Amino acid sequence: MANLITPEAVQAALGSVKRGVAFGLDYPLDAFDPSVANRTPPRHVMVSTHRDQRDEYLDGFWPQATSQVDGLRHRRHHAHGFYNGVPDEDVVVGSPSIGVNCWADRPIVGRGMLIDVWGFRAANGRSIDHEAGEHLDVDLLDDTLAWQGSALRPGDCVLIRTGWTDWYLQQDRAQREDICRTKVCTGMEQDDDTLAWLWDHRVGLAAADTFAFEALPARADSPFGGDTDAGMMHQDLIALLGLPLGELWRLSELAEDCAATGSYDSLLTVKPLNLTGGVGSPANAVAIR
């Protein structure tokens, strides 16, 4: 679906830059400790060969441990295989097939549209229930867009702010450990309507400030996931739609600026690591307004 961001859409997205202000949308590499997915923060090692020189490396680096973009290798559909029919034997270390290197060579650049569902709910006196891992539906997205006075265009990159990362990072260590144990997290509802909404709007990338974009655990009657993915839509989002999927993005500062200016669009750039055959990557996402 990144192919829906045409050169014309990129040129049009330049109109979102009014003030030349940039917002980094990535949290620090070690922000999410512990991690819901058991991805540990990297150990940063600094070395020196003499007093005037420094070098470094990361030990135990999980590229999807913090603000990330899921690549097309991240999920295989249980019935239809990897995106675009790429054979399983091509999805190995050293092969570039459907790796994040494709989006590093051709970075994802387009109009970012923030959908501030946290702000919409707060303005209407109703919070999002992160403790219960609220399932969010597409009606909420439509209602929020209407409240913002925003309209989507084909090829837009959708950024859904729920406030989950802010809430998680405010918990103490014991509370975060409990969330990681229960894996109860706010996100989009597992529903055919969610897939249809993303496709019908011709979304080029979908990201959120939640752990898995979709809610965890999946709803009990979810039609997705087959026998391996416990009802999750990831297989359909990634392997069937080919949708770049962002998770754990830092959206609050951007949302505050959007609310202050009354406009919710930006020029968005996403430049994954140029890792041959990479499964996922830190998002390296920037919103320019």
Give all domains of the chain, ordered by start, each with its CATH number.
2-288 (3.50.30.50)
Res 38: pLDDT: 87
Res 228: pLDDT: 94
pLDDT tens by residue, the chain, 289 residues: 999 999 999 999 999 999 999 999 999 999 999 999 989 999 999 999 999 999 999 999 999 999 999 999 999 999 999 999 999 999 999 999 999 999 999 999 999 999 999 999 999 999 999 999 999 999 999 999 999 999 999 999 999 999 999 999 999 999 999 999 999 999 999 999 999 999 999 999 999 999 999 999 999 999 999 999 999 999 999 999 999 999 999 999 999 999 999 999 999 999 999 999 999 999 999 999 9
Whether a cis peptide bond, with omega within 30° of 0, leads into 34 is yes
Res 159: pLDDT: 98
| Tokens (6 digits) for 6 | 């045409």
Model-level pTM? Answer: 0.97
Residue that is written with structure tokens 């290197």 in the block: 101
Q: How many CB atoms lie within 10 A of CB 32?
A: 23
Sign of the dihedral through C-alpha 30, 33, 38, 40:
positive
Strand 108-116 with 265-270, pairing? antiparallel
